Structure 1
Amino acid sequence: MHVFLCRSGHALMAFMLSRQEGKLNRQQTMELGHHILKAHIFKGLSKKTGVSSSVLQALWISCSTDGLSAALVSLRNLYTPNVKVSRLLMLGGANVNYRTEVLNNAPVLCVQAHLGHQETVSLLLEFGANVDVVS
């Protein structure tokens, strides 16, 4: 029962955020990603529809914001990265070569490597981040 209530709460938060007037800001986008992932709304649909739940989640977040890339490089996500939400942002179309507001506008890959966030660096490389970009 507890798991159901938690998932319902996350689903309600995700619906509330995605129904707000206008597009979401960086922080709201990260929060929406968290709630989308926790709600598991599309669980089991891939067998019926042939479309993976990851693709459906990515479509949901990409329709709710214009700032997937900005959310990916938000200060909070740079310094305490949420790898699962970052993956969702990248699946939704976030630019993995997006420039940050730190280290002289360094690309996100440079900042994550500089901070020693190996899991996030691997994720960025998996999604095609340019290793030859100049910081």
Structure 2
Amino acid sequence: MVKIVVDAYAWIEIFIGSEKGEKAREHIEKASEVYTPDTVLAEIARKYLREGADQRDAEERLRMIVEVSNIAPIDVEVALEAAKSYMKLSDEARKAGMKAPSLFDAIVLGTAKSLNAKILTGDEHFKNLQETLWIR
């Protein structure tokens, strides 16, 4: 069994009920431990509210995440891993001609590294990393 850190991408796919979301759900059900960085909650809330969703709907989704995963806070170890991860992701994105990753992405990777876990995502910034469980 594997420990996983769930990225916002995977949660969004679960909420829209896509095929990728079904893959993500299967990984979550099989995982020994499931984590979501606390910043992912803010990222998802921002997305739904920015798109005009009712605050109660956004809150409902966030509560579901809290129920099925451990919320991983940023601590000193995660902050340092996130800083190193940001530089790595930025360098890889530049080489691939992609836009720069967000700090949210770096925190997800930093959290996974600090927990020795895999990242459940379909975000292109994570595609070629050994830590990635790809849902595309």
TM over 0.5: no
Greater percentage in strand: 2
Normalising to structure 1: TM-score of the pair?
0.29
Report which structure shows greater RCO (CA 8 Å, sep ≥6): 2
Larger Rg: 1
